Amino acid sequence: MKKYRVSLQVDQDWVDNFDLVFEAEDYSDAEAQAMIEVKQNLSDYITAFADEEDELLSKKIDAQYYQENKK
């Protein structure tokens, strides 16, 4: 089975222009409704890109990422 490295790209314009009004019981309910709206339209906000991964390069990149982000 092949390996694929996936990256995400956020459409900042969609995020910046998100400005909907919801009828809700309270702010928590309004926030929950907003999250449902985003989940239902997630492909408008985020795009996934996959590239076939060379196994040796993949291990090198993963090791480098681990070294840079370990606490």
Go through the chain and tell me how many residues it has: 71
| b/e 7-41 (16+ beta carbons within 10 angstroms → b) | eeeeeeeeeeeeeeeeeeeeeeeeeeeeeeebeee
pTM surpassing 0.85? no
56 vs 40, higher pLDDT: 40
pLDDT tens-digit series, residues 59-70? 777 788 888 887
Greater confidence (35 vs 58) lies with 35
Q: Residue ranges of the domains in the chain?
A: 4-69
For the chain, what percent of residues have pLDDT higher than 70? 97
